[in-house]
Amino acid sequence: AQSVTQLGSHVSVSEGALVLLRCNYSSSVPPYLFWYVQYPNQGLQLLLKYTTGATLVKGINGFEAEFKKSETSFHLTKPSAHMSDAAEYFCAVSLEEFSGGYNKLIFGAGTRLAVHP
């Protein structure tokens, strides 16, 4: 089975502190990996993605994530949290369907990040 697990449905940090949001995947083949952010009452925006090549990927708003194949992980980090980072964060994998070869995006359950002063 191919799935995405996000550890911690809620994470709370102080402004200026390190942000670490965890994501593990299970897949029989190397997936493409994504982090999306959803601000209140908005759609999803891409933060960053890993397809091939460098395993440390940088995204928008100072976020980065590292693909670790041995740990099947793709954790999202940011050195210093800002109040505006408060949002819901989704890890996702892109996997080909067995039939037809069509690709679809499978999302984790999401992690709500709260940033307090």
Partner 1 sequence: DTAVSQTPKYLVTQMGNDKSIKCEQNLGHDTMYWYKQDSKKFLKIMFSYNNKELIINETVPNRFSPKSPDKAHLNLHINSLELGDSAVYFCASSPDSHWAGELFFGEGSRLTVL
Residues that bind partner 1 (CB under 8 A): 32, 34, 38, 41-46, 49, 51, 88, 90, 94, 96-97, 100-107, 109-110, 112
Closer of 15 and 72 to partner 1 (Cβ): 72
- Secondary element (H or E) of residue 114: strand 111-116
Nearer to partner 1, 80 or 103 (CB): 103
Residue 13 vs 93, nearer CB to partner 1: 93
The span from the CA of 44 to the CA of 63, in Å, is: 16
Q: Do residues 108 and 94 lie in contact, with contact meaning Cβ atoms separated by under 8 Å?
A: no
Retrieve residue 18's tokens: 């390190």
Min separation Cβ 80 and partner 1, Å: 25
The three-state secondary structure class of 60 is helix
Closest approach, Cβ 36 to partner 1, in A, equals: 8
User: What are the residues facing 32 on neighbouring strands?
Assistant: 94
Instruction: State the nearest-atom distance from the C-beta of 95 to partner 1, in Å.
Output: 8
